[in-house]
Amino acid sequence: MIRVLLVDDQRLFREGVNALIEQIDDIDVIGIAENGKEAIQQIEQVQPDVVIMDIHMPEMNGIETTR
């Protein structure tokens, strides 16, 4: 099972990607974050295999978060 964290400030996008991923048996969305700061907290807690992240977000963008 591939464990995924979704990070995007747009609720509709997060929900859409989550709905698509839920249809794939080998992938599980284990967390959702609205910005980079939330992403860092979730990464430490849930330890995902993959992070799907927007690069344009408030507070801390995806590039800063990845660093």
In this structure, are residues 7 and 51 in contact, taking their beta carbons and an 8 Å threshold?
yes
Domains of the chain: which residue ranges? 2-66
pTM here is: 0.90
Asked whether the beta carbons of 57 and 22 are under 8 A apart, the reply is no
| Residue pLDDT tens, the chain, 67 long | 999 999 999 999 999 999 999 999 999 999 999 999 999 999 999 999 999 999 999 889 899 999 9
Q: Which CATH superfamily is domain 2-66 in?
A: Response regulator (3.40.50.2300)
**What is the per-residue burial (b if ≥16 Cβ within 10 Å, else e) of 20-56?**
eeeeeeebebbbbbbbbebbeebbeeeebeebbbbee
Q: CA-to-CA distance for 41 and 27, rounded, in angstroms?
A: 21
